[in-house]
A and B are shown apart, each in its own frame.
Chain A
Amino acid sequence: MKKKVSELLVECLELENINTVFGYPGAAIMPVYEALRKSNINHILVRNEQSAGHMANGYARANDSVGVCIATSGPGATNLITGIATAYMDSIPLVIITGQVDSKSIGSDMFQEADIIGATEPFTKHNFLVKKAKDLPKFIKEAFYLANSGRKGPVLIDLPVDIQNEQMELLYPEKTDIRGYKPTYEGNMRQIKKAVKEINSSKNPLVCVGGGIASSNSRDELEEFIKKTGIPVACSLMGVDSFDNNSDCFAGLLGSHGYPFVNRALNKADLLIVIGARLADRTTSKYSFNENQSIIHIDIDPAEIGKNVKTHIPIVGDAKRVLQALNQFDFNSTWKEWTEKIMKERESYFEKALSLNININKVNPCLVVREVSNLIGEDTILTADVGQNQIWATHFYKASKRRKFFTSGGLGTMGYSIPAAVGSKFSSPNSTVVAMSGEGGAQMLIGELAVLREHNLDIKIIIFNNDGLGMVREMQEEIYGENNNYSTSISFNPDFMKLTEAYDINGIQITNNEEIKSKLRLAFSKKGPCIIECKVDPKFPTLPTKVKKLEKRKIEIA
C-alpha cells in the first residue's frame, strides 16, 4: 500500500524500536509531525533544538540505544549543531532528522534554508541528503547501522519537505551492506599475544580507560581483567563510570584536571594499556612521552591509534572482544605493591582535599558532591556540566558500572547537563537522575526547566552558584594576574529560587556547609523536579588542593 513518505519515516523509526524522540517542529518538517501525531512514538518538545541533541545524547547513553532528534530546516537545524558536535566528539550514537526546503528550491536561499549537510560534515559520522523518496528507507537503515556500530556517532538525514509529502510503498531493507564501511571488531590474536607478553614483563603497568568501555558495553569484561591482574585503573573524563570507583584498583581521573597522583603514575608507569581512549590533549596535558615506556593501545577506530601518542602494540578492535580475548590468558599479577602505593596516595589526597575547607564560608562544593554520592543509591545517573563543577563532580562522585556519569568530555559543551539528564530520565525512568552545573552552564539552556515540569520528571539539579564563570575566571587570574578577570564575574544572576517558582518546581538553597546534609536529604525526599542552589565562594578553586596556594597568597576566602 502506498503511503506518504513522512508516515513511512515514522514507521521506519518504529521498526528500529524507537519510542521516544526529541525535537521542535517547523514548516519544513510538518508532514513528519503529522505522522508522529498519529503514531505511538512519544515526542518530547524541547525549548531549544540544541537541547534535543543533548537529550538524545543522554537518552542513548543511559540505555545503550540510539537517540533520535528532529528539527526543522534553517535555524532549527543550525541550533542542533552544538548538540551534534557534542555527540560526535564523545562518539554517542544519534540519528538526526532535519526538514529541508522544497528539493527543487535547494540552493536558492529560501526562507529558513540552510545547508545543514555542508555544515555538519565535520562532526557527523555520515550524513544523507534525500533527493529521491525511494532512497529514504535505505538511508534510515544505514543511518541507524552507522550510528550504532564501529566507533559510534551521530548521523544526519536531511529530508526536503516536498519529498515528505510524496507517496510510495515501504520496502524497509533488513540488512545493510556499505562497501566503504567495514569496522573491525575482533582484535588481531598475534597482537593480543604480544600484549599479554608485554603486560607480564612489565613492572608498573597502568590501565587507562575512556568512553570506549561504556560504548562497547564492556564494563564487566574490564572488571574481570582488573580482578585477574590487579593493575590500577586510570580514566579520562569519558571513562569515569567504566569501573567501580570504590575498587582497590581505581586510581581515577587523568589529565589537566586529574588527580596529581594519577598523573604521576602515568609518567612513572613502564606500560600503559590504553582501552577505548583517544589520549587527547586534556588527558595527556600532564604527561610527557618517555622512551622507557611501552604503550598498548586498544581502540575500534584505527585513526586514533598513533594519532596523539606513539604506540608500540596497536590493537584495532572492539574493547569488549579484545578484553574477552585478554581474559583468556594467565597473568603474573605481581603489581600489588605498585597498585597499593597509588591507592595510598589516593586516600591521602582525599583526606587532604576534603578537610581543606576550614577557612571557607559559604558552601564547599566538594562536600556537596561527596554527600550526593553517599546519599543516592545504585541505579543512578549523574550528568555534569562543564567548568569547575565538572571537575568537582568527577573528583568527588563515586561512579560505578551502575552509577553512570555523563558529561561532555570532548567538546566541553556548557549547558549539557540539564538536557542530558532529561534524556537519561526518559530512557531510564527508574534511575535516580541528578544534574550538576554551574550557574553559567545552567542558564545556557534554562528553558528546559519547562520540560522537566511538563513531564514532572524526578530530576534533581544542583547548581553551584559562584557568581561567575569560575574555571575561565581562575585561568584569567592565573595568566593575567590577581583580579584581572574580565567578563567572567557575573554581576547579575537571576534569583534561582524565584525561577523555580516561575517554573513551578521545587527549589532549595544551601548557603553553608552545615546545611548540606539536611537540605540534600530534604531535596531528595520529595519526588519531582527540584533545583538545589549551592552558594559557592567565587574564589573556591577548581582543584581543592589549590586552597593552600590561595592561602599562601593571602587571598581572603569570604
Chain B
Amino acid sequence: MKGEIHVLAILVENYSGTLSKVAGLFTRRGYNIDSLNVAETMDQKTSRITVTVTGDEKILEQITKQLNKLVNVIKITDLTSKKSIRRELMFIKISSAIENRNEIIQMTNVFKGKTVDISPKSITVELTGDEEKNNAFIELVKPFGIIELVRTGLTAIERG
C-alpha cells in the first residue's frame, strides 16, 4: 500500500474477541497493520486500540467505514501528525564493552533516553519518542551491535 502513515485511535467496548474482530477485519480486507497496541481507558468498559496503517485517502475511508460497522467499535479518530502527539516506547540492548560504555550513555542522554541495565557485555536503553527519533537512535548505535530491539508501536493523543 502506498500513501502516508495514519494513526487511527479506535475506541472499543471491552468484550472478549473485540481485538480479534478489529485485527481480523484488517487481514480479510487486505489492509496492512504497521503497528498496533491496546489497553483499557479511564472507563473500564472501553479500550483504546491504536493502529498505524499506510494508505491513500480511499483506502483509509474504507478502513474507517468498515471498522465503524463493527458493533463493538464506538469511535474512530484519525490522528494526523499536525494535531496530535505520537510516541512509542523502545528498549534496545546494545553490545558494549567497558571502553565504549560511556559513549553509549552520552548518546542516550542526548536522546533523553534512560540507561536501564548494564552488564559486562551490554547496555539496555529505554527510549520514548516518535518513530523518527527512535529510528535515528537505532542508526546511531548500530555500529556497536544491536543484540535485541523491542518497540511498542505508536500510540497517540489529540492535542487540546
> Cβ of A463 < 8 Å from any Cβ of B?
no
Instruction: Give the chain B neighbours of A302 by CB distance below 8 A.
Output: 65, 68
Query: B49 to nearest A CB, angstroms?
Result: 13
Cβ of A179 and Cβ of B13 under 8 Å apart?
yes
B71 in complex: contacting residue of A117, A131, A146, A307, CB < 8 Å: A146
Output the nearest chain B residue to A125 by Cβ-Cβ distance.
B71
List the one stretch of B17-25, B78-86, B145-153 in contact with chain A.
B17-25
Output the nearest chain B residue to A310 by Cβ-Cβ distance.
B58
Cβ of A178 and Cβ of B71 under 8 Å apart?
yes
Cβ of B61 and Cβ of A180 under 8 Å apart?
no
In chain A between 276 and 309, which residues have their CB closer than 8 angstroms to a CB of chain B?
Answer: 301-303, 306-307
> Cβ of B62 < 8 Å from any Cβ of A?
yes
> Cβ of A121 < 8 Å from any Cβ of B?
yes
> Cβ of B28 < 8 Å from any Cβ of A?
yes
Query: B153 to nearest A CB, angstroms?
Result: 23
If A122-B28, A125-B71, A303-B68 touch, whether A180 touches B62 (CB-CB below 8 Å) is no
Cβ of B16 and Cβ of A180 under 8 Å apart?
no
> Cβ of A129 < 8 Å from any Cβ of B?
yes
> Cβ of A118 < 8 Å from any Cβ of B?
yes
B13 in complex: contacting residue of A131, A180, A301, CB < 8 Å: A180
Instruction: Give the chain A neighbours of B71 by CB distance below 8 A.
Output: 125-126, 146, 178, 180-181
Sorted nearest first, the 6 A-B pairs with minimum C-beta distance are A303-B65, A126-B71, A180-B74, A181-B71, A180-B73, A179-B74
In chain A between 159 and 205, which residues have their CB closer than 8 angstroms to a CB of chain B?
Answer: 178-181
Query: B89 to nearest A CB, angstroms?
Result: 29
Cβ of B16 and Cβ of A129 under 8 Å apart?
yes
Cβ of A303 and Cβ of B66 under 8 Å apart?
yes
> Cβ of B97 < 8 Å from any Cβ of A?
no
Instruction: Give the chain A neighbours of B21 by CB distance below 8 A.
Output: 121
Query: A91 to nearest B CB, angstroms?
Result: 12
Output the nearest chain A residue to B74 by Cβ-Cβ distance.
A180
Output the nearest chain A residue to B75 by Cβ-Cβ distance.
A180
Instruction: Give the chain A neighbours of B17 by CB distance below 8 A.
Output: 117, 127, 129
The count of chain B contact residues (Cβ–Cβ below 8 Å) is: 20
Given contacts A121-B21, A121-B24, 19 further A-B contacts (CB under 8 A): A117-B17, A126-B71, A127-B17, A129-B17, A131-B16, A146-B71, A178-B71, A179-B13, A179-B74, A180-B12, A180-B13, A180-B71, A180-B72, A180-B74, A301-B69, A302-B68, A303-B69, A306-B61, A307-B62
Contact with B along A9-48 (1 / 0, CB 8 A): 0000000000000000000000000000000000000000
Query: B125 to nearest A CB, angstroms?
Result: 38
Residue in B62, B69, B75 with the greatest tally of chain A CB atoms within 10 Å: B69
> Cβ of B5 < 8 Å from any Cβ of A?
no
The count of chain A contact residues (Cβ–Cβ below 8 Å) is: 19
Cβ of A122 and Cβ of B24 under 8 Å apart?
yes
In chain B between 25 and 82, which residues have their CB closer than 8 angstroms to a CB of chain A?
Answer: 28, 61-62, 65-66, 68-75
Output the nearest chain B residue to A155 by Cβ-Cβ distance.
B71
A-B contact pairs, 19 of them (CB 8 A): A117-B17, A118-B20, A121-B21, A121-B24, A122-B24, A122-B28, A129-B16, A131-B16, A179-B13, A180-B12, A180-B72, A180-B74, A180-B75, A302-B65, A302-B68, A303-B66, A303-B68, A303-B69, A307-B65
Residue in B21, B71, B73 with the greatest tally of chain A CB atoms within 10 Å: B71
Instruction: Give the chain A neighbours of B66 by CB distance below 8 A.
Output: 303
Output the nearest chain A residue to B28 by Cβ-Cβ distance.
A122
Query: A152 to nearest B CB, angstroms?
Result: 13
Output the nearest chain A residue to B15 by Cβ-Cβ distance.
A128
Instruction: Give the chain B neighbours of A131 by CB distance below 8 A.
Output: 16
Instruction: Give the chain B neighbours of A126 by CB distance below 8 A.
Output: 70-72
Cβ of A121 and Cβ of B20 under 8 Å apart?
yes
A410 to B64, CA, bound (A): 23
Output the nearest chain A residue to B18 by Cβ-Cβ distance.
A180
Cβ of B24 and Cβ of A180 under 8 Å apart?
no
Instruction: Give the chain A neighbours of B16 by CB distance below 8 A.
Output: 129, 131
Instruction: Give the chain B neighbours of A303 by CB distance below 8 A.
Output: 62, 65-66, 68-69
A242 to B91, CA, bound (A): 61
Instruction: Give the chain A neighbours of B28 by CB distance below 8 A.
Output: 122
A146 to B73, CA, bound (A): 14
Instruction: Give the chain A neighbours of B72 by CB distance below 8 A.
Output: 126, 180
Output the nearest chain B residue to A307 by Cβ-Cβ distance.
B62
A306 to B66, CA, bound (A): 12
In chain A between 287 and 339, which residues have their CB closer than 8 angstroms to a CB of chain B?
Answer: 301-303, 306-307
A307 to B71, CA, bound (A): 20
Residue in A125, A126, A131, A180 with the greatest tally of chain B CB atoms within 10 Å: A180
Instruction: Give the chain B neighbours of A129 by CB distance below 8 A.
Output: 16-17
Query: A242 to nearest B CB, angstroms?
Result: 24
A259 to B117, CA, bound (A): 74
Query: B25 to nearest A CB, angstroms?
Result: 8
Query: A107 to nearest B CB, angstroms?
Result: 12
Contact with B along A131-162 (1 / 0, CB 8 A): 10000000000000010000000000000000
Cβ of B20 and Cβ of A180 under 8 Å apart?
no
Output the nearest chain A residue to B45 by Cβ-Cβ distance.
A179
A307 to B66, CA, bound (A): 10
Query: B34 to nearest A CB, angstroms?
Result: 22
Output the nearest chain B residue to A127 by Cβ-Cβ distance.
B17
A301 to B68, CA, bound (A): 10
Instruction: Give the chain A neighbours of B20 by CB distance below 8 A.
Output: 118, 121
Output the nearest chain A residue to B46 by Cβ-Cβ distance.
A179
Query: B132 to nearest A CB, angstroms?
Result: 33
A303 to B61, CA, bound (A): 9
Output the nearest chain A residue to B58 by Cβ-Cβ distance.
A306
